[in-house]
Amino acid sequence: MDFGGGDEIRFDRQGKAGIVTLTRPKALNAVTHGMIRALDKALDAWADDADIAVIVIKAEGRAFSAGGDIQHIYDAGKAGRPPIDFFADEYRLNAKIKRFKKPYVALIDGIVMGGGVGVSFHGSHRVMTENAIFAMPEVGIGFFPDVGGSHMLPRLKGSFGMYLGLTGTRIRRGDACWSGLSTHSIDAAQLPDLVDAIAESGLPDEALKTFAVSAERETDEAMTHVIQKHFSLGTLDDVLTSLAQAAPLEPFTAKTLETMKTRSPTSLHVAFRQITDGAMLSMDECMQLEFRVVNRMLHGDDFYEGIRAVVIDKDNRPRWRPATLEEVDPNDIDRYFAPLDEGELSL
């Protein structure tokens, strides 16, 4: 089946399932504009196809998807052509997946970050294997946890989403299942059989009853209470003050604070606000909020500096502007969230 996307994404029909496979393993299945457009076309076609009862999305290689095509975004932005159309189409697709009426089963086996999260974790079934690693590390490259992070992160248990968004911490399937991020866990060796079962019946819940396994969370109950204590506070300053006060007695807290100090100060302020605001917004409203922010990010400094430091030069020494949290002007943060003169994202 050809919905476009070339050799980057494949579409197949198996029994009652529409099967999507990300096929850029050498690039860790980083999501490109062509992949986004192709998946969008496939969902439109399969939504009205009576013979397709369920969508399954999976990937080749050791990563589900390590994010978006950052190199392309960097090159276009530095050339004075920020790829806003890429983000507009990506955010529309994220919203479409969220409201898709048929079961949408994401099989996460390996790394999933950024853009990969956007095409998987808004579906009805988020299935993670023992190889799965989830992260939203955007504040570390001067960006923000987009692709629906505004909607997803504030709805996790125990302020865990705020913690993930402000630190970029990587988690495995046990924490993902506990927090509500993942709906099921499965052993990687069983994935082919699970796909066959879903395709045969068209009923993912029934198939998962056979193959799902329990996954013990990696962060114990005591530590989740510590996270909630610090990351449930009303302002970013309150969070940082709480962490600083506890740091001398809590090694975990001290490490967390040091991690946050390496992140873009602007990104931390933006992420805190988007996650706070997103708790009260619908998915569509969150995507419109994020589109406002990304328009400003693409014309700023920190995003390109973060990519330079982490991806291009790999010196891991970004020079943020402003350089400290205290130097960030609240009025500048307000401008990231202000309505767009050129019009809001249409959904």
3-class secondary structure per residue, the chain: CCCCCCCCEEEEEECCEEEEEECCHHHCCCECHHHHHHHHHHHHHHHCCCCCCEEEEEECCCEEECCECHHHHHHHHHCCCCCHHHHHHHHHHHHHHHHCCCCEEEEECCEEECHHHHCCCCCCEEEECCCCEEECCHHHHCCCCCCCHHHHHHHCHHHHHHHHHHHCCCECHHHHHHHCCCCEECCHHHHHHHHHHHHHHCCHHHHHHHHCCCCCCCCCHHHHHHHHHHHCCCCHHHHHHHHHHHCCCCHHHHHHHHHHHCCCHHHHHHHHHHHHHHCCCCHHHHHHHHHHHHHHHCCCCHHHHHHHHHHHCCCCCCCCCCCCHHHCCHHHHHHHCCCCCCCCCCC
The whole-number average pLDDT for the span 47-68 is: 96
pLDDT in tens, 111-144: 999 999 999 999 999 999 999 999 999 999 999 9
Residue 71 confidence (pLDDT): 86
**Which of 5, 15, 18, 1 shows the shortest CA–CA distance to 55?**
18
Residue 149 confidence (pLDDT): 98
Q: Which domains does the chain have, with CATH numbers?
A: 1-347 (3.90.226.10)
Contact 136, 166 (CB under 8 A): no
Residue 72 confidence (pLDDT): 87
Residue type, 39: L
Catalytic residue numbers read 68, 115, 138, 146
Residue 69 confidence (pLDDT): 84
Q: Whole-angstrom Cα distance, residue 58 to residue 281?
A: 29
Residue 82 confidence (pLDDT): 92
The answer to whether residue 271 scores a pLDDT higher than 90 is: yes
pLDDT in tens, 18-49: 999 999 999 999 999 999 999 999 999 999 99
Chain-centroid distance, C-alpha 49: 29
Residue 100 confidence (pLDDT): 98
Contact 283, 151 (CB under 8 A): yes
Name the β-bridge partners of 21.
Answer: 10, 58
Residue 114 confidence (pLDDT): 94
Q: Residue 304 corresponds to which tokens in the numbers above?
A: 């390109």
The answer to whether residue 275 scores a pLDDT higher than 90 is: yes
The whole-number average pLDDT for the span 210-238 is: 96
Contact 109, 59 (CB under 8 A): yes
pLDDT in tens, 157-195: 999 999 999 999 999 999 999 999 999 999 999 999 999
Residue 102 confidence (pLDDT): 98
Q: Residue 98 corresponds to which tokens in the numbers above?
A: 């969220």
How wide is the angle at C-alpha 241 spanned by C-alphas 237 and 245, nearest 5°? 175
Q: Whole-angstrom Cα distance, residue 16 to residue 39?
A: 18
Residue 189 confidence (pLDDT): 98
Q: What is the pTM of this model?
A: 0.96
In the chain, the percentage of residues whose pLDDT exceeds 70 is 100
The answer to whether residue 70 scores a pLDDT higher than 90 is: no
